[in-house]
Amino acid sequence: MIANYGYKDGSGEYYISIDTDKCIDCAANRACLTACPKEMFEMITDDYDDEVAWVKKSNTRTLAYDCAECKPAGGHTSLPCTTACTPGAIKHSW
C-alpha cells in the first residue's frame, strides 16, 4: 500500500509517501525514526495488522514548514529520512 501523508493547499502539494510493502520487514532497522530531526515518523499497526511507519498526525498538516530545514534551502543536499530508508519506502512529493 502507498500511504500518502500531507496535503495540498494554495501554495503547493506536500506529501510524504510511504510504501508499506517495503516498510513491513524493514531492512534498515527502522532508521527513519531517528533520522528525522523532527521525529515525525512513528510505528503503528495499520488496518491490515501490519507493523509500519507513518507520519505523526501532528505533522501532516504542517509538512511544508516542518520539512523546510532539511530541504536544499536549509543547507541539506539529501534528505535525512529518504537517505536513512535504504529500502526506498519513503518519498517526498516536493
Partner 1 sequence: MITAGIDMGSRSVKVVLLEEIKVDGAPQLNYSVKKAHLMMPGDIDADQAAEKAFTEALAAAGVSRDQVTSVFATGAGRKQVEFATEGVTEMTAGAKGAVFMYPQARTVVDVGAEEGRGIKTDSDGKAIDFAGNEKCAAGAGSFAEAMSRALQMSLKEFGEASLRSDKSIPMNAQCTVFAESEVVSLIHSATPKEDIAKAVLDAVASRVCAMVRRVGIEGNVVLIGGMVHNPGFVASLKNAMDVDQVLLPDLPEFVSALGCALIAAERQH
Partner 2 sequence: MNAEVAAATVAEAAPEKKEFWRWQENVWFDETKNWKDAKVITCGIDVGSVSSQAVIVCDGELFGYNSMRTGNNSPDSAKNALQGIMDKIGMKLEDIHYVVGTGYGRVNVPFAHKAITEIACHARGANYMGGNKVRTILDMGGQDCKAIHCDEKGKVTNFLMNDKCAAGTGRGMEVISDLMQIPIAELGPRSFDVDVEPEAVSSICVVFAKSEALGLLKAGYTKNKVIAAYCQAMAERVVSLLERIGVEEGFFITGGIAKNPGVVKRIERILGIKAVDTKIDSQIAGALGAALFGYTLMQKQAKAA
List binders of partner 2 among 51-80 (CB under 8 A): 60-61
Phi, psi of 85 (to 5 degrees): -80, 85
User: Which residues make beta-bridge pairs with 45?
Assistant: 51
What is d(CA 40, CA 61) in angstroms, rounded to the nearest whole number?
A: 12
Phi, psi of 65 (to 5 degrees): -80, -45
C-alpha cell recorded at residue 87? 529500502
Q: Which stretch binds partner 1 (CB under 8 A): 15-23, 30-38, 46-54, 64-72?
A: 64-72
Query: Considering CB distances under 5 to 8 angstroms, the limit depending on partner class, which of partner 1, partner 2, none binds residue 28?
Result: none
Q: Of 30, 38, 56, 61, which lies in the binding site for partner 1, with binding defined by CB under 8 A? A: 61
21 binding partner 1? (CB under 8 A): no
Q: Of 2, 9, 13, 76, which lies in the binding site for partner 1, with binding defined by CB under 8 A? A: 9
